Structure 1
């Protein structure tokens, strides 16, 4: 068996360096040069994908690339605050820098939670290049359940030791990452945010995966993602599953992805 080929990248941008990691199938067999790009959640990073990227690379026989958005993981600190247009800014800014640095033409976008929104934004921004869009536990609009879940998380993170847990992954950027998530979603100006216009611009096939017990969003989110996407789309509701299907039920999620891709 070939050794697992993993590469790390540091990508310069106008605001700081981004950290990215790349996985190849252990078998060495890659079906084509279209990689799967992973977009992490609001408190996520490359390291928190754990062994999923390698499992996905082996299952799909494709290159998998994940990167830390600015302010998260091993990427540089974010110089400011997130605005309400942060998803579009990511698609036109740092994701574009990633594509140029790594020579990514066509791509498959896979995003978890708010990373699903990032994936939608990138699919909408580059409709000719995004060949498939996969969302997992994505929020398509601001829902009462989402706000309630974030409120509960805000209380939980006030307990002793909770911020230190985040520092394991984000270092001194942990407090910024936490506030970027909570302050953005709970801000009064964010109440009408949604992905509707972006979804209508998606030109590729779409798979929306969602746990039936997701504490941050009901199945109305994948319903809207599938309903507004103009192309071929599928919705998969994972029973007995919360907000992180790829960690809670990895074999099922990998099977769904294999069939779709």
Structure 2
């Protein structure tokens, strides 16, 4: 049975959402190293329909999704799967420098391994920030099995506002305390994680990057979610992502991390989109 109810008491709802899901973790072997992954499955009647695959942001990890995957699984009635990209979280270190085509490469390389590990065919791609861009690229790469795509605060091109936000973060990482906080989630990989984000996006060689080619190849419905106070990009990204096949949802009073700022609202928006878009699961 799908859970549709919500409470205004955020902490209470989070604990209920977690209790309504079973969580399992698995390791995925790749040629470059092991990836840590986790899945949340609604307990009452099991998962219904294509699972939701989460792609994390440039500093993210499975742990940094926090309670969002459990709540999303509960309100959608779907299994939710997340993983740490190579070099992030509990996954093995990345063997070198992040390539400039890393956004397009990620889903093509990892989605088949996730599907084999967790036993699914059709899926829903969902990602936050650069993970949203990866969700679009993954949808374009697997048009026959991607049933819907959801982006959260994603970038579709290199915008001055995005670069300015990254420059602010670059200055903040000069404080060792901020790097220590990052190390809580990435261990001794934290400097690589920060440099992979800052160094890539601020490189002149990356300035011409866009999602335009991938967006032209997406066949499934798209929901582009964006906060109107996002410090890393304007709503122009969401409108560009949704221009051909999608719907834009702007979250009022919300910055760059909706799954922490308004988890309940975000989960409800996604659940409603999937109910309308994929009514049969």
TM-score higher than 0.5: yes
- Are the equivalent residues in 1 in contact too, given 2:127–2:151 (CA < 8 A)? yes
Displacement, 1:244? 0.9
Task: Tell me what 1:150 maps to.
Answer: 166
Task: Tell me what 2:142 maps to.
Answer: 126
Say yes or no: does 1:24 pair with 2:41.
yes
Task: Tell me what 1:202 maps to.
Answer: 218
Displacement, 1:3? 6.7
Task: Tell me what 1:260 maps to.
Answer: 273
Note the residue ranges of structure 2 that are not aligned, 5 or more in a row: 1-15, 275-281
Please state whether the residue corresponding to 1:127 is helix, strand or coil: coil
**Structure-2 separation of matches of 1:28 and 1:165:** 39
Query: Aligned-residue CA RMSD in angstroms?
Result: 1.3
- Are the equivalent residues in 2 in contact too, given 1:27–1:58 (CA < 8 A)? no
Q: 2:99 aligns with which of 63, 83, 98?
A: 83
Displacement, 1:250? 1.6
Task: Tell me what 2:241 maps to.
Answer: 225
**Runs of 4+ displaced beyond 3 Å:** 1-4
Say yes or no: does 1:15 pair with 2:32.
yes
Mean Cα deviation higher: 161-170 or 83-92: 83-92
- Are the equivalent residues in 1 in contact too, given 2:48–2:79 (CA < 8 A)? no
Task: Tell me what 2:70 maps to.
Answer: 54
Note the residue ranges of structure 1 that are not aligned, 5 or more in a row: none
**Superposition TM-score, scaled by structure 1 size:** 0.95
**How big is each residue's C-alpha offset from its partner over 1:49-94, in whole Å with a ceiling of 9 and x where there is no partner?**
0010000000000100000000000000000111111012112213
- Are the equivalent residues in 1 in contact too, given 2:20–2:42 (CA < 8 A)? no
**Superposition TM-score, scaled by structure 2 size:** 0.89
Q: 2:264 aligns with which of 251, 255, 259?
A: 251
Please state whether the residue corresponding to 2:35 is helix, strand or coil: strand
Count residues in correspondence: 257
Task: Tell me what 2:4 maps to.
Answer: none
